[in-house]
Structure 1
Amino acid sequence: MSTVIEQAVEARLVAAAPRMASIPATLRYDTHDPFAVRMSFPAAATLEGVDVCWTFARELLTGGLTESVGAGDVRVRPYGYDRTVLEFHAVEGTAVVHVRSDDVRQFLTGTTRLVPTGDEGRHVDVDGYLAELLRDAC
């Protein structure tokens, strides 16, 4: 059984122009980091011309389907029934994208098949993380 789910999504970049530009993005989930999801954008879709990847809580993405959540660098909220808004805040500025809520739901359904909500702690290798941290301590 695979331990990683990747799903391509179409994101619409909210900008001052009346028509939002469509940009490719990928949602990714790995059971080795069961609390997190990643959303990445290819270099061609970023102002800096480099690949950009944001990591945030799966719980944040789940909650953002039904209510406004997040107070830090990543915020998620519903926009009508069929869109979800993700805001990415950085020193350089803020990027706001819309994605189809059905795509987010499909992605989250796949992640919960791999790791049910509430079972994330069973997939964390605490001993391995501690060994890695302490390896260079001596």
Structure 2
Amino acid sequence: MSQHPATSLPSPHVLTQPMAMELLGPDAAVRIDTSVGYHSRDPHALGIAFHLLGEESVVWRLDREMVLAGSLGPAGEGEVHLRPAPDGGLLLLLGGAGHRATIRCDQEELARFARGTFVLVPQGTEEHHLDWRPLLASLRR
């Protein structure tokens, strides 16, 4: 296996923003404190951390392009689906069949955050922000 010269990665960029969301239940909505985060070393994904009382935060990773697509119409597959809410919000459906949580957030606030990630790491340049050295080192063992 040939050795490739190490290329320098761009400086990492991190964005975080607190965001209020609601867990929608059959009879009521419950406010959940969350924070949305982005790290350019994981350039395709946003992380939504749900800060639960007395427990560690639960983090869901969402494709940043899917977040923007979900603000326009239904998007997603597997355990993550998004769609616009009738009131102008955005619905996140997280989890598998029978164990799905429906979360409502401000569509424009989340879309604005996602668009900001494309300023830091433009679409099509994501691979320049990935550090492949740990994976390559593990394959050489």
Maintained 8 Å contact 1:13/1:23: yes
User: Once superposed, what is the RMSD of the aligned Cα atoms?
Assistant: 2.2
Maintained 8 Å contact 2:91/2:105: yes
Unaligned runs of 5+ in 1: none
More helix by share: 1
Corresponding residue of 1:29: 38
The residue correspondences of 1:1-138 to structure 2 (distance < 5 A) are 3-17=13-27, 19-44=28-53, 49-80=55-86, 82-90=88-96, 93-131=99-137, 133-134=138-139, 137=141
Letter in 2 for 1:65: S
1:127 and 1:32 mapped to 2: Cα distance?
Answer: 12
How many pairs were matched up? 131
TM-score normalised per structure 1: 0.83
% identical aligned pairs: 27
Displaced runs of 4 or more, over 3 A:
none
Q: What's the CA shift string for 1:25-78, capped at 9, x where partnerless?
A: 111110000011111111219xxx442111121121121110101121111111
Maintained 8 Å contact 1:7/1:27: yes
Deviation of 1:9 after TM superposition, in Å, equals 1.0
Any idea what SS the aligned residue of 1:70 has?
Answer: strand
Letter in 1 for 2:88: D
Unaligned runs of 5+ in 2: 1-10
2:29 and 2:87 mapped to 1: Cα distance?
Answer: 18
Deviation of 1:125 after TM superposition, in Å, equals 2.1
